[in-house]
């Protein structure tokens, strides 16, 4: 397999907008296919958790409902 094909398969990881510029304790997320990957940003080569898109959506929805609007970050 070519290097280009392998590179194209790597997930595009991103940190939460709540992380800040130099946060040391953060989770990173990547969207792949119909799944969502989550990993510890301090161990980018370590294990990751895989959630179905449906399960992740339910999680995000419940977290959003749990925290009052005044605790949410302004865009």
- Across the range 18-22, mean pLDDT stands at 62
pLDDT for 52: 97
pLDDT for 23: 60
In the chain, pLDDT over 70 holds for what percent of residues? 65
Is the pLDDT assigned to residue 53 strictly greater than 70? Answer: yes
Q: Where are the domains of the chain?
A: 27-70
- pTM assigned to the model: 0.68
**Cα separation, 70 vs 1, whole angstroms:** 50
pLDDT band per the 50, 70, 90 thresholds, residue 69: low
């Amino acid at each position: 397999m070519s290097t280009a094909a392998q590179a194209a398969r790597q997930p595009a990881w991103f940190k939460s907008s709540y992380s800040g510029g130099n946060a040391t304790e953060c989770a990173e997320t990547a969207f792949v296919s119909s799944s969502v990957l989550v990993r510890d940003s301090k161990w980018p080569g370590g294990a990751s958790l895989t959630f179905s898109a449906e399960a992740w959506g339910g999680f995000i929805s419940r977290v959003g409902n749990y925290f009052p609007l005044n605790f949410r970050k302004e865009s």
